[in-house]
Amino acid sequence: GEDVEQSLFLSVREGDSSVINCTYTDSSSTYLYWYKQEPGAGLQLLTYIFSNMDMKQDQRLTVLLNKKDKHLSLRIADTQTGDSAIYFCAESRWAADKLIFGTGTRLQVFP
């Protein structure tokens, strides 16, 4: 079945860039998402990309998609302490239906 994998932890210094990686197996994935979860809270959509795109930029966030390698990344420029959270990659075949989530990457930002 479909599988989405992420590394579990990432630690960066405040002001540096963070890059969170994700790989997926379903070649039929049409939509790929990045969600942020702060402690004790629900999931907040950060951004998403269609499978026919290679890159999407939204302020400090840059999403890169390598469809051949089924690899998705999220780059956060000028990382701040408020960016400390768990980041989930997710994919679906139809617009946000039946999301398949990765395990989540816990980002820790230190001063």
Partner 1 sequence: NAGVTQTPKFQVLKTGQSMTLQCAQDMNHEYMSWYRQDPGMGLRLIHYSVGAGITDQGEVPNGYNVSRSTTEDFPLRLLSAAPSQTSVYFCASKGEGQGYNEQFFGPGTRLTVL
Q: How far apart are CA 55 and CA 89, in angstroms?
A: 15
Residue 15 CB, nearest approach to partner 1 (Å): 29
Nearest residue (CB) to partner 1, 71 versus 98 = 98
Which stretch of DSSP H or E encloses residue 61? strand 61-66
Q: Between the CA of residue 5 and those of 8, 60, 73, 82, 101, what are the distances in Å? A: 9, 23, 12, 24, 8
Chosen residue from 24, 63, 104, 107 binding partner 1 by CB under 8 A: 104
Nearest residue (CB) to partner 1, 14 versus 23 = 23
Residue 104 CB, nearest approach to partner 1 (Å): 6
Can residue 7 be called a binding residue for partner 1 (CB under 8 A)? no
Can residue 24 be called a binding residue for partner 1 (CB under 8 A)? no
